[in-house]
Each structure stands twice: as structure tokens, then as C-alpha cells.
Structure 1
Amino acid sequence: MVYYQKMTPEGYKEIEDEIAKLKKDRPRRIKILQQARALGDLSENTEYTEAKRDLGHLQSRLRYLGKQLKYAEVIEAKNDGKVNMGSSVVLKFEDDDETEEYKIVGRMEADLAKGKIAFDSPLGQAIMKKSAGETGVVEAPAGSYSVKIVEVK
């Protein structure tokens, strides 16, 4: 059984862009490896070891990202007034007068520092398929709390 990873079109594009950037950098890293190899004894050649390791990391990252694209299920945002993948949502947490805006994304795209939360995270699950004005209960390891949906964009 193949497990497809849900992601937004923007997340898919970010992976494509990173792959293009890494492929562009690969010839430079190969050249560094060749230059280090030409320095002589490989058993004591730190430059060669580092260049080989760096190229290996680049190749590994390319394989990983390639698999992410291969098994991606791109979900287009629905504009039905409910919280869906790709939606931006303004939330008000209980005991807090401030509102916060988040974008609902796939698991691989989630980055709280950038305001992106996964649809299947505890917060994401609590608000998915709800409309503005509704309240969701987040079941977190530290305890439950309520969050009100102020706006769905």
C-alpha cells in the first residue's frame, strides 16, 4: 500500500524549487570533491572527506525530496467558508485577547514559526471543517483548550 502525503500546491512548488537549487549546486560540489581528491593521500585528506560527505548529503536530500514529490497528493484549497487544507484562518485562543493567523498545510510543510500548521496536528484537527464563529477543542498532551475561529480566508 502506498501512502500519499497531502500537501498544498505552494508546498509542492517549494520542494520543486529546492530540488532545482540543489541540482544547480551539484556540479560545484563535484568539482570541490575532484579538487580535494587531487591533493593526494585520501586516508588523511580532510578536504576530501568533507567534500565527499557534503556531496553525499546533497544526493540524499535530492532523493528524499524526489520521494516527497512522487508520493504527494496536492490538495487545492476550497473556498466554501470552512477550514480546509490551504485555508488561512484567524484564531482566538481561550484566555487570550490576541488573535493569531495560521495557514493549514500538509504535515511536511508545517512550520509554526512561519504560521503554518498541519491539518492533522491537534490544533488542525480541532478546527478542520469548521466555519467562522465556531469553537474547536484542542486535545493536546498538556490538556484540552478551546480555540474560536474568527475568520476563514
Structure 2
Amino acid sequence: MDNIEKKKLGENILVYYQKMTPQGYQKIKDEIADLKKDRPRRIKILQEARSLGDLSENTEYTEAKRDLGHLQSRLRYLEKQLKYAEIIEKTADGKVDLGKTVTLKFDDDAETEIYQVVGRMEADISAGKIAFDSPLGQAIMKKKVGKTVKVEAPAGEYQVTIEAIE
């Protein structure tokens, strides 16, 4: 649970906070707003399907009920993510950290890639966002430009050199 910070509340209650960037927090807020806008439409579809008659053989009703349930489940999940989010701001210490963008040279093939280091909820390798607690993220965290690090990934070990940090 390296990426989750425990904080004690009261006698025996521990709360786990998920680290994320301000942009990741805002993205979740935006998705919540979209889901809340869509909920009345889905409720109306459910009500219309209910009015079609016998619910035991009403596939429209079953689908509408399932869709509304999925929406509400996703909404609860996202609201919990916001409730227990710890927003991490960029630091100016010249080290790789959450929210910073890094240019990495993969030493085995001399390829250069640019990634933003983000929280687990925001990670999307296809969008150039790596989780700080991923094998690559862990290897480069708190390192400075010019440092070469070994990454121990499930597919095997490799080395990267940090070329730039923004």
C-alpha cells in the first residue's frame, strides 16, 4: 500500500488516502457531474420501460434498471475516490515526483519517451501517464536529471536515464 497514505481518525479508525494530481481530481469531478446530468434521463427511461407492463418479461425494464444501477454504482465509486483523495502539488526540488513530466531514455534501445507521473487512478500509459507506484514510477521517483536507474518490471529488468524533469 505504498501509494495509499494511512491517517488515523479517532481511536481505532484508519482512513486510506489515494494520492492524485489536481488534474486527476478535476477529471473525476467532471465525470461525476456528467453522470449526475445523465441520471434523470436514465430514470425516465426506467419509468417508461416500467409502464410497458409485466416486469418479469420486460427486457427494456431489465436493461434500464441495470444501466441505472451501473451509473449509480460508478457515481458512488467516484465520490468515494474524491472523498479520500490526497491532492499532491508539484514540487520545485528538481526531483521526479507526482505531477511532473519526465523525459526518459530507455538504455536498451535508446528510445526516448515522455511521461507524466500521476496517481494510480489517473494512470494511462497510452496517454503518457504512468503511476508513481508502478515499477517504472517507483524506480524514478525522487531521482534527478542524469540519473540512470534499474527498473524491475514483471517482463524483466531494464534501465532508463532521466533526461529532463518539468
Q: Report the TM-score, using the length of structure 2 for normalisation.
A: 0.90
CA drift of 1:55 comes to 0.2
Q: Which amino acid in the other structure matches residue 54 of structure 1?
A: D
Aligned equivalent of 2:6:
none
CA drift of 1:142 comes to 2.6
Segments of 5+ residues of structure 2 without an aligned counterpart are: 1-13
Aligned equivalent of 1:70:
83
* Residue 43 in structure 1 maps to residue 40 in structure 2: no
SS in structure 2 of the partner of residue 2 of structure 1: strand
CA drift of 1:141 comes to 2.0
Q: 1:12 aligns with which of 25, 32, 35?
A: 25
Superposed CA deviations along residues 80-105 of structure 1, whole A, max 9, x for unmatched, are 21100000000000122221000000
* Residue 136 in structure 1 maps to residue 149 in structure 2: yes
Q: Which amino acid in the other structure matches residue 133 of structure 1?
A: G
Alignment check: 8 A CA contact 2:108 2:159 kept: no
The count of aligned residue pairs is 153
Matches within 5 A, 1:27-106: 27-106=40-119
Greater displacement, 72-81 / 18-27: 72-81
SS in structure 2 of the partner of residue 3 of structure 1: strand
Taking only the aligned residue pairs, the percentage that are identical comes to 75
**Aligned-pair Cα RMSD in Å:** 0.7
In structure 1, C-alpha distance between the alignment counterparts of 2:153 and 2:73, rounded to whole Å: 34
Aligned equivalent of 2:3:
none
Segments of 5+ residues of structure 1 without an aligned counterpart are: none
In structure 1, C-alpha distance between the alignment counterparts of 2:94 and 2:45, rounded to whole Å: 53
In structure 1, C-alpha distance between the alignment counterparts of 2:21 and 2:102, rounded to whole Å: 15
Q: Which amino acid in the other structure matches residue 18 of structure 1?
A: E
4+ residue runs of structure 1 moved beyond 6 angstroms? none
